[in-house]
């Protein structure tokens, strides 16, 4: 198990903030935000926990929907920025696997591209599920497992000059160091069955699964995304009984 205290986030926080800007990167703006908010809007959620909230961008979007939101993240610089951008919000330094919150406190728990950063997935999942009230919703945006299986090389150019994305060692769960725009962090590749089995074993019910398509932005980026979609969205419900 890799040391969660050294995963590159503290060292990469400033570069992350610069890359995200005011509205988030391409994947957030043009792929994930709209369908993630569509899973939330108008459903009567009152209390949300955003696990791995970073600089609080999605917390702010949830609060715009009238949802009281708590954001947790272990990276102090990102939490500090969240507090500056949203002084009325509730942002706390903490790890997913050590959430210090009463059981059943939330009707919505969100993991927006944070499961891939968590070394102790089992511990984090148990805490996230415990934080949900019976009947509550766990909403996840995650990197597709076939995408993470192609890292860290990602796109490469073949002998014919065409760009290709090579997938390898799909079934091997492993930590991967990835880098872009001055960011150098540790992600985790896990086969999709790892996530599905984990949540099913906790008794959750899968209510939604989608692989959203891009809805705008740079056409070349959108075309490449359609060749190898990076994201999926899952919604799980905690049983009442």
Neighbouring C-beta atoms of residue 46, cutoff 10 Å: 10
pLDDT for the residue numbered 1: 44
Helices (H) and strands (E) counted in the chain, each on its own, are 9, 11
User: Whole-angstrom distance between the N-terminal and C-terminal Cα of the chain?
Assistant: 34
Do residues 7 and 185 make contact, with C-beta atoms less than 8 angstroms apart? yes
pLDDT tens sequence across 79-110: 999 999 999 999 999 999 999 999 999 999 99
Where do the structural domains in the chain lie, given as residue ranges?
9-144+192-237
pLDDT for the residue numbered 5: 63
Which superfamily does CATH assign the domain made up of 9-144+192-237 to?
Vaccinia Virus protein VP39 (3.40.50.150)
pLDDT for the residue numbered 3: 57
What are the residue ranges in the chain where pLDDT is below 50? 1
If DSSP codes are grouped into helix, strand and coil, which group holds residue 63? Answer: helix
- Per-residue 3-state assignment (H helix, E strand, C coil) for 195-225: HHHHHHHCCCEEEEEECCCCCCCCHHHHHHH
Cα–Cα distance, 234 to 187 (Å, whole number) = 19
pLDDT for the residue numbered 47: 98
């Amino acid at each position: 198990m890799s040391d969660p205290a050294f995963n590159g986030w503290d060292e990469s926080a400033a570069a992350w903030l610069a890359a995200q800007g005011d509205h988030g990167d391409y994947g957030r703006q043009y792929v994930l935000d709209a369908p993630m908010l569509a899973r939330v809007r108008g459903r009567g959620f009152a209390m949300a926990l955003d696990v791995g909230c970073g600089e609080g961008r999605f917390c702010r979007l949830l609060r715009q929907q009238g949802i009281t939101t708590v954001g947790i993240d272990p990276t102090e610089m990102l939490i500090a920025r969240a507090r500056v951008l949203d002084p009325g919000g509730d942002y706390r330094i903490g790890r997913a696997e050590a959430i210090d919150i009463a059981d059943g406190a939330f009707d919505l728990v969100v993991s927006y591209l944070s499961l891939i950063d968590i070394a102790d997935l089992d511990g984090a999942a148990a805490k996230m599920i415990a934080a949900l009230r019976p009947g509550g919703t766990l909403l996840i945006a995650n990197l597709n497992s076939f995408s993470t299986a192609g890292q860290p090389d990602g796109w490469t150019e073949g002998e014919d000059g065409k760009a290709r994305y090579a997938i390898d060692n799909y079934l091997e769960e492993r930590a991967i160091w990835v880098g872009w725009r001055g960011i150098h962090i540790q992600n985790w590749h896990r086969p999709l069955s790892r996530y599905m089995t984990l949540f099913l074993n906790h008794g959750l019910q899968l209510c939604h699964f989608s692989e959203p398509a891009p809805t705008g932005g740079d056409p070349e980026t959108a075309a490449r995304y359609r060749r190898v979609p990076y994201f999926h969205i899952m919604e799980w419900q905690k049983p009442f009984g």
